[in-house]
Chains A and B, each alone.
Chain A
Amino acid sequence: MKNEFVVPEPSFLRELEKCKIEKEVKRYKITVAASMGV
């Protein structure tokens, strides 16, 4: 089971990290908050 529940870290993580992640997360949070009526 040990290896069964292991997958490599996604390669796009670096892309997320260096470019639009902050902007994307912010936009996502706003969308979620709006849908929850927060």
Chain B
Amino acid sequence: MKLADFFPPTIDGSVYLEVTHRCNYNCKHCYVRSPQNREMSLERAIQIIDILKQQKFRKIIITGGEPLLHPNIKEIIEYVKMKGFKLVLITNGTLIKETNINYKLLDAAYVSFDGPTEEEYKLLRGKEGLAKAEEGIRHLASLGIKVSIGCILSKFNVYKIHEFIAKLKTLPVDKITVTVPQPFGRTLENKDIMLSPEEYNSCIPIFAAAEGIHFESMLCYPMELRNESEEIKNAPLFEKYMSGCAAGKKFIYISPEGLVTPCGYVTADKELLKLTGNITKKSLEEIYDTQLFKFYMNRSWESVTGKCTNCDYNIVCKGGCPLRSHYLVDDAKAPDPWCRNEPEKNEYIQITNLKTKNFIKTEKVVEA
């Protein structure tokens, strides 16, 4: 029996559909390396949505690039809803008011908001747009759409972290998620915008004190995740196995060409894309049997290496993000280079006075 036989990603039923890699911005941290001329035709989108329905997926998260630039985005959204999927739109928010879409069809939206001012927005994204993004957020909220916002904390704005938090609190949103640039896609050419693991650690207590803002936790640092690790150690085997990184286990990504990947961060890497298959040419069962999917599906506490073999948290963490290891130390199986825990010396990062509810795991899927 193959793992995919009993836990295909359909178990959570979520698909990230990259309808276009075109974009009206040129962000220094873009993992897709947008803008690019990769776009899913309407015919291909319908073909893929039909396959996803047959495969009993339940939620489609439309993403890009900037999906509102797709010439048929209205038709794609209407088709997704006609097929009965839950629908989430991920957008930079700057084109919301000028795009003719029935936004009420959305179950939720996730909008990028990289402030606190136009100055930092322009440094990261190449041109101004924060005011337009805010206008888009307020428009969606006025329609009764659940809006989450995603913020990047980089070298450009980390020194304004308190001002940024104050700005975020003025927005009419359900959820605010803060994350940091990751070493994927275009960030690999702009590593100077990344926070170091030490800087990342120093931000945690600040977000821990901010009501209503979730800091996306990359590793098992915050105590809540450690407690969860303790609980999961005693959980049934299947739950234990499904914990941690959700890539290829709870959701999949589909590129504009139809290439299926366990993680969106793969989408700009032509070499990694060779290790998977195209949903318009192969069955999902065949794709789950490709090298990339088997790698993600087989990762467990048994496959960790180096210092992770002695770590108290390897049940949940499973070695961290394999792509960070792949791009930063050239070995996807190596311990996550961002991890500052030293389990062999029993030295774990200690962060005190946390409001642990402020922390979410990076692996969680977007909630509709």
Do B239 and A10 touch (CB < 8 A)? no
CB contacts (< 8 Å) of A37 on chain B: these are 368
For this complex, into which size category does the number of interface residues on chain B fall?
Answer: 35 or more
CB contacts (< 8 Å) of B333 on chain A: these are 4, 7
CA distance A11 to B239 in the complex (A): 16
B184 nearest CB across to chain A (Å): 15
CB contacts (< 8 Å) of A9 on chain B: these are 3, 298
Q: Which of A9, A25, A27 has the most CB of B within 10 A?
A: A9
A24 nearest CB across to chain B (Å): 4
* Chain A residue total in the interface (Cβ 8 A): 27
Do A10 and B332 touch (CB < 8 A)? no
Of A2, A5, A12, A38, the residue contacting B237 (CB under 8 A) is A12
Of A1, A25, A32, A36, the residue contacting B368 (CB under 8 A) is A36
A34, CB-defined interface residue at 8 Å: no
CB contacts (< 8 Å) of B1 on chain A: these are 13, 17
What residue of chain B has the Cβ atom nearest to residue A4's Cβ? B332
CB contacts (< 8 Å) of B368 on chain A: these are 36-37
Do A5 and B295 touch (CB < 8 A)? yes
Do B11 and A8 touch (CB < 8 A)? no
Do A10 and B298 touch (CB < 8 A)? yes
Of A4, A25, A32, the residue contacting B238 (CB under 8 A) is A25
Taking CB atoms and an 8 Å cut-off, the chain B residues in 294-331 that contact chain A are 294-295, 298-300, 302-303, 322, 326, 330-331
B292, CB-defined interface residue at 8 Å: yes
CB contacts (< 8 Å) of B295 on chain A: these are 5-7
Q: A4-B331, A24-B236, A36-B86 are in contact. Are A16 and B6 (CB under 8 A)?
A: yes
Q: A5-B275, A5-B291, A24-B238 are in contact. Are A10 and B300 (CB under 8 A)?
A: yes
Do B241 and A6 touch (CB < 8 A)? no
B242, CB-defined interface residue at 8 Å: yes
A31 nearest CB across to chain B (Å): 9
B347, CB-defined interface residue at 8 Å: no
Do A13 and B302 touch (CB < 8 A)? no
Do A32 and B12 touch (CB < 8 A)? yes
Q: A25-B7, A36-B58 are in contact. Are A20 and B236 (CB under 8 A)?
A: yes
CA distance A37 to B107 in the complex (A): 12
CB contacts (< 8 Å) of B332 on chain A: these are 4-5
Do A16 and B238 touch (CB < 8 A)? yes
Q: Which of B59, B238, B272, B330 has the most CB of A within 10 A?
A: B238
CB contacts (< 8 Å) of A1 on chain B: these are 271-272
CB contacts (< 8 Å) of B3 on chain A: these are 9-10, 13
Do A12 and B241 touch (CB < 8 A)? yes
Q: A10-B302, A12-B302 are in contact. Are A4 and B237 (CB under 8 A)?
A: no
What residue of chain A has the Cβ atom nearest to residue B275's Cβ? A5
CB contacts (< 8 Å) of A8 on chain B: these are 298, 302-303
A28 nearest CB across to chain B (Å): 6
| 18 CB-based A-B contacts, threshold 8 Å | A4-B332, A5-B295, A5-B332, A6-B291, A8-B302, A10-B298, A10-B300, A12-B237, A13-B1, A16-B6, A20-B237, A21-B238, A24-B239, A27-B236, A28-B239, A32-B11, A36-B368, A38-B58
Question: Which residues of A does B touch, CB under 8 Å?
Answer: 1-2, 4-13, 15-17, 20-22, 24-25, 27-29, 32, 36-38
Extra contacts, 17 of them, besides A8-B303, A16-B241, A36-B12 (Cβ < 8 A), are A1-B271, A1-B272, A2-B291, A4-B331, A5-B272, A5-B322, A5-B332, A10-B3, A10-B241, A10-B300, A17-B1, A22-B6, A25-B11, A28-B242, A36-B58, A36-B86, A38-B58
Which 10 A-B pairs have CB atoms at the shortest separation, nearest pair first? A24-B238, A7-B303, A5-B295, A10-B300, A7-B298, A4-B332, A24-B236, A17-B1, A10-B302, A9-B298
